[in-house]
Amino acid sequence: MRIGATDTNKSIYYRNILQKPTFGRALTKEEQAGCAKASKDALRLLGVKNLSLILHGSSFPAADRDFYIGSFFNDKAQDVNEFVSMLGFNSIQLGPNGLISREDVSPYGGRAFSANYLFIDLNKLATREYGNILDENVLNAFKNTDRLEDETDFQKAFNAYDNLLYNAYRSMKTRARNGVKEVVQLKSEFETYKQEEGKWLETDALFDVIKSRIYDGKQSSEWNDIDKNLILYINDKSSPNHDLAVARKVELEQEYKPDVELYKFKQFIYNKQLKEFLRDTPSRMNLIGDALVGFSEADVWGNPEAFLSGYALGCPGGGPNNSHQVWDIPVIDPQKLFDEKGELLEGGKLIKRKFEKVLQDAKAIRIDHAIGLLDPWYYEKSSVRKEADGSVFTNGQNISNLPHLDPERKFSRVIEKIILPLLKEHGVDKKDVVWEDLGAQTDLFKNKYYKELKLPGIKNLKWIRAEDAPSNYWWLVGSHDDPPLSTKIDNELKYIPPEENWGRPSNEAFNPLYLAGFLYPGWTNKQREPIVLGVKNDPRERLKYKFVEMLANGKNIQISFMDLFGLKKVYNYMGTKDPRNWKLRLTPCFKEDYYKTLEEQSKDRIALNMPEILAAALKSKLSWKQVRKKSDEIEERKMNNLIAKLSHYADILYEKS
């Protein structure tokens, strides 16, 4: 079954060529179903519980009418879900989905409660279901007319979405007054949504309007006193500014009512479409939501009593020249976590609400910077100093070393008192949570997190061997913060023996003798020789067997979308403000890209042939069973039949034109 540009009814721009990439063979529908079943059977036999694709929302393909950004719940997202399911994946780990800004497009700089409305599928607003509140011609006026890109253009996306959602909101009001049935229903849903969401929606909308309309985007620290402390004064009835603040809020809501309503409308459409996707897409993966440890400026403004003024969250190492990292993330006041009876105060309630927000729409959760929920590193903002060599230093300390801020060590109880009960409430096993435990760990954290709470972490097999990694941890070889592995596989991700490296071996994790011996202990040296030579000399084989090692021995696995599809561009240059960060996305031709990359079998752009990797992992499992004398003839026959099926699909994916 040859597939090329002539098989499609419409042409699209792709890499300056008016066609889709051509390749020799794709799986038929019947073969896709067979491959999906074989992959799932393989994961079951391997003992892999979670195989998750790291793919942030904006990195999904854009819809057919492209508005410069992808979405995890547009029509193309359904295609992604079906395709990666065929390859064995059972979940997708998203990035944080909070609202970002034009100035900071990092998903890790977003808000805790307001969602990123750039994920809305604008095309649906021109359908009958949404009362045709957008016109096709208006949509076409803002669509991407450039050649198809594999990058998000955040500024053009903001321009398109802000204009089109403004048009949609005005149209909804007009058409509802005119009695258009579908629009009347839509507006009724909008009114219900506003009532149900309550305070956070009101304060986030008001903050956005004040910042954009009155202060032209300036930080709240530069606002006048009443506006800067509006919510604080309103909540504090004993404040001499209470009445002034209440009057100011009424004034703002009246003067800027259309802007406030528009903000709420954007959140409503996001919420509605996501709920529809989760309800109506049986082929979707389980979603793993990414929960930020920090908060945004808007979160602080709307919940001022919860935060500690003058301090911020950072890290004692990993900055320039391994100096301090100053993240400038607002921090919770430890005294506002619990009272003497253990009841949640403003800070504790805010943390709980933030995690609840993520769990509303996700099957599981990734907890960013778990250390920050037990023993966070606080520094005074006024203490930051930069040295001539670029190093940054502060008076930062972990909260356990700041008894004047947390004398009763309340922070050390956040996970057990807030996070774990919340996970239980939502039916999420704490062992399935992606606990990101990386960073400078204190004794308090180690004792509490690992020994007392017995929580898992993350292990990167890029630098360690599977035999040395705890099996209950999440395993990965590359994350969203790493460059594509195929760009590093023939230099730093390679074993160099001592005699070739000044007497010291490099990266034992990729030692060919280790990989071949650990994976296939029952084989003879002659049987293992092709693997040893392949891992030593061929970057494709080296990467393949590293993933075989992970899938043959791990229970919870993550794979970056860059590595699955063999991409060469970087999604995030970790620890930098590089303008290229966060832009990489799959093209609408992602399936064709995958097939073509596999067919070419290039050594500098390596996509993962998942059926091949799963088959090799099953061979490893079978080899270990034979060595331990734990297999029988019937079981071996089943495993060999499954290996044959997966190898057949792997061969098809490599088939050439």
| pLDDT at residue 657, as a whole number | 63
Same domain, 256 and 121: yes
Residue 47 has pLDDT above 70, yes or no: yes
Distance CA 634, CA 292 (A): 48
- The C-alpha atoms of residue 532 and residue 511 are separated, in whole angstroms, by 9
Mean pLDDT of 543-564: 97
Cα(45)–Cα(619) distance, rounded to whole angstroms? 11
Average pLDDT (308-322) is 93
- Which H helix or E strand runs over 155? helix 154-177
User: Does residue 200 carry a pLDDT above 80?
Assistant: yes
Q: How confident is the model at residue 23 (pLDDT cuts 50, 70, 90)?
A: low
Across residues 608-636, what is the average pLDDT? 93
Same structural domain, 37 and 53: no
- Model confidence pLDDT, tens digit, residues 581-609: 999 999 999 999 999 999 999 998 999 99
CA dihedral (404, 408, 414, 418) in degrees, to 10, reads: -130
- Decide if pLDDT at 614 tops 80: yes
Give how far the C-alpha of residue 179 lies from the chain's centroid of Cα atoms, to the nearest Å.
Answer: 41
pLDDT at residue 567 tops 60:
yes
Note whether residue 465 is domain-resident.
Answer: no
pLDDT on residue 576: 80
Average pLDDT over the chain, rounded to an integer: 93
C-alpha 485/C-alpha 493 separation (Å) is 8
Residues with Cβ within 8 Å of 592's Cβ and at least 6 positions away in sequence, in order, are: 3, 20, 21, 23
Rounded percentage of the chain residues whose pLDDT exceeds 70: 96
Q: Is the pLDDT of residue 9 over 60?
A: no
- Tokens linked to 158: 């903001």
**46 contacts 94 by C-beta, under 8 angstroms:** no
CA 223, distance to chain mean position in Å, is 33
Which CATH number characterizes residue 121's domain?
3.20.20.80
What local confidence, expressed as pLDDT, does residue 5 receive? 36
User: Where among 264, 291, 318 does a domain terminate?
Assistant: 291
Q: Are residues 347 and 336 in contact, defined by beta-carbon separation less than 8 angstroms?
A: yes
- My answer on whether 125 and 167 are in the same domain is yes
Rounded to whole angstroms, the Cα distance separating 407 from 402 reads 8
pLDDT tens-digit readout, 89-103: 999 999 999 999 999
For the cut 60, the answer to whether the pLDDT of residue 3 exceeds it is: no
Asked if residue 425 and residue 321 are part of one domain, the reply reads: yes
Verify that 518 and 427 share a domain, yes or no: no
Confidence of residue 148 (pLDDT cuts 50, 70, 90): low
Rounded to an integer, what distance in angstroms lies between the CA atom of residue 600 and that of residue 22? 11
Q: Write out pLDDT tens, residues 328-385.
A: 999 999 999 999 999 999 999 999 999 999 999 898 999 999 999 999 999 999 999 9
Q: What is the distance between the alpha carbons of residues 78 and 281, in angstroms, rounded to a whole number?
A: 7
* pLDDT for 574: 85
User: Domain check: are 579 and 534 in the same one?
Assistant: yes
pLDDT recorded at residue 14: 39
Model pTM? 0.94
Domain interval for residue 636? 1-46+474-657
How many structural domains compose the chain? 3
Q: Let me know whether 57 and 19 are in one domain.
A: no
Model pLDDT, residue 15: 40
